[in-house]
């Protein structure tokens, strides 16, 4: 992301343990980003905070890799154990969802060639086709129809698409990076465009939303 195409990502949703001071949580998480990059499984680690009310989990972390998602899943347990043995895994974050996803093909669409390396946050949308066996139709709509509607809003710099390595509730994840000062608008601003999409018939009804929300970028570390 940040205008670059990864091969896969590790995606983590969490909230901080209320018994732990928020400052301690933030300090640990910033260091954890660096620790995860130091495993050499990931070349960038970033964390975000939810800025839309009651739309998702409070904290989001994304770890980007040039390895396949299958290879990341294979090697990560041993690397996490090393961090734990070295006292670098602290019980300050309560993880509610984590998964590994491969970047789809082409997977990255850039709408704005300015400051791609400096987003303020992102819009997260995870959804699956409702009818089994319609993945091809669903993805064609996303890439050839919805992409154009999203670009025309002018709210996003990039659209990044991912597919889960394993079979779970989240099959497809879409991350739209933005440079809006008010990052929450990356989510709430869609209400300004949805009626026109509905009238034009460019929305895809046969899908199920599993996650959504706008997240502000807090920290990012690259190796």
pTM (2 decimals)? 0.94
115 pLDDT above the threshold of 80: no
Tell me the mean pLDDT in the region 44-62. 94
Query: 1 CB contacts (<8 Å, ≥6 apart)?
Result: 9, 44, 46, 62, 64, 119, 122, 158, 160, 175, 177
| Between 116 and 100, the higher pLDDT residue | 100
Tell me the mean pLDDT in the region 16-38. 91
Helix or strand holding residue 192 (H, E)? none
Going by pLDDT thresholds of 50, 70 and 90, the confidence category of residue 120 is: very high
Q: Are 120 and 158 in contact (CB under 8 A)?
A: no
Compute CA 219 distance to the chain's CA centroid, rounded to the nearest angstrom: 14
Tell me the mean pLDDT in the region 37-42. 97
Q: Where are the domains of the chain?
A: 8-222
**According to the model, what pLDDT value does residue 91 have?**
80
The least confident of 74-83, 84-93, 124-133 is: 84-93
| Between 54 and 216, the higher pLDDT residue | 216
75 pLDDT above the threshold of 90: yes
What are the CA-CA distances from residue 183 to residues 30, 48, 73, 160, 221 (Å)? Answer: 21, 11, 31, 17, 20
Average per-residue pLDDT for the chain: 94
112 pLDDT above the threshold of 90: no
Going by pLDDT thresholds of 50, 70 and 90, the confidence category of residue 18 is: confident
User: What top-level class would CATH report for the domain 8-222?
Assistant: alpha beta
The least confident of 3-12, 14-23, 129-138, 205-214 is: 14-23
Going by pLDDT thresholds of 50, 70 and 90, the confidence category of residue 55 is: confident
């Amino acid at each position: 992301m940040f205008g670059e195409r990864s091969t896969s990502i590790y995606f983590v949703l969490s909230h901080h343990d209320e018994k732990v001071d928020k400052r301690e949580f933030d300090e640990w998480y910033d260091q954890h980003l660096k620790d995860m990059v130091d495993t050499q499984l990931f070349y960038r680690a970033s964390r975000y905070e939810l800025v839309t009310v009651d739309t998702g989990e409070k904290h989001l972390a994304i770890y980007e890799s040039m390895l396949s998602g299958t290879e990341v899943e294979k090697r990560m347990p041993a690397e996490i154990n090393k961090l734990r043995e070295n006292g670098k895994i602290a019980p300050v974050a309560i993880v509610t969802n984590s998964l590994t996803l491969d970047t789809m093909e082409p997977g990255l669409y850039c709408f704005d060639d300015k400051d791609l390396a400096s987003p303020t946050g992102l819009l997260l949308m995870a959804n699956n086709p409702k009818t089994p066996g319609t993945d091809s139709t669903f993805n064609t709509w996303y890439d050839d129809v919805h992409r154009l509607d999203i670009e025309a809003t002018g709210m996003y710099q990039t659209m990044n698409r991912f597919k889960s390595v394993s079979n779970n509730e989240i099959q497809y994840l879409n991350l739209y990076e933005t440079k809006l000062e008010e990052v929450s608008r990356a989510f709430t601003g869609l209400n300004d465009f949805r009626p026109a999409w509905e009238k034009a018939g460019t929305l895809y009804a046969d899908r199920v939303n599993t996650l959504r929300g706008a997240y502000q970028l807090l920290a990012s570390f690259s190796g």
